[in-house]
């Protein structure tokens, strides 16, 4: 089963805003009396940018996909067998979730600010669960296992 995490939609508010600015420029050009062709170019381009921006806000780009065999972060596929640890770290993008691999230079960073606020803890728990499943670990509940054959 694959779990998909998308980028925070708020990161892309500038796209429809730029389209609205182009529509504003078209309105000003129309008001000034520029030929219809110039107004149509700015109006058409502005409309397309607004529509594209709204589409991106409704369906933000995929940040990562968690599968049973691998994890894909921004298109980079890493098998769970190569991942050794999931932790938080500081990065140039602020706080990030890091997937440390067997080769330190291949570690994967997922900036926390790129995710929706409620998804960070869920992501970390999901990553740890998938890593545990891949390595055959179980989470210790603090109790001792019942002996199969108690000593007498």
Give the global pTM.
0.73
What contacts 137, CB < 8 A, 6 or more positions away?
131
Q: What is the CATH number of domain 69-135?
A: 2.40.50
What tens digit of pLDDT does each residue of 53-108 get? 999 999 999 889 988 888 888 878 888 888 888 888 888 888 988 888 888 778 88
For residue 73, CA distances in Å to 18, 67, 145 come to 28, 11, 37
Domain spans of the chain? 3-58, 69-135
Q: What is the DSSP letter of 87?
A: E
Is 90 exceeded by the pLDDT of residue 51? yes
């Amino acid at each position: 089963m694959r779990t998909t995490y998308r980028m925070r939609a708020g990161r892309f508010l500038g796209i429809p805003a730029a389209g609205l600015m182009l529509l504003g420029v078209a309105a000003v050009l129309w008001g000034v009396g520029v030929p219809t062709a110039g107004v149509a170019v700015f109006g058409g381009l502005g409309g397309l940018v607004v529509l594209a921006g709204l589409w991106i806000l409704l369906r933000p780009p995929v940040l990562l996909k968690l599968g049973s065999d691998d994890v894909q972060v921004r298109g980079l596929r890493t098998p769970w067998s190569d991942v050794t640890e999931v932790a938080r770290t500081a990065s140039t993008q602020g706080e990030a979730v890091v997937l440390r691999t067997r080769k330190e230079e291949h570690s994967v960073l997922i900036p926390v600010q790129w995710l929706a606020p409620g998804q960070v803890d869920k992501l970390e728990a999901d990553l740890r669960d998938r890593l545990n499943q891949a390595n055959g670990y179980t989470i210790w509940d603090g109790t001792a296992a019942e002996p199969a054959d108690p000593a007498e």
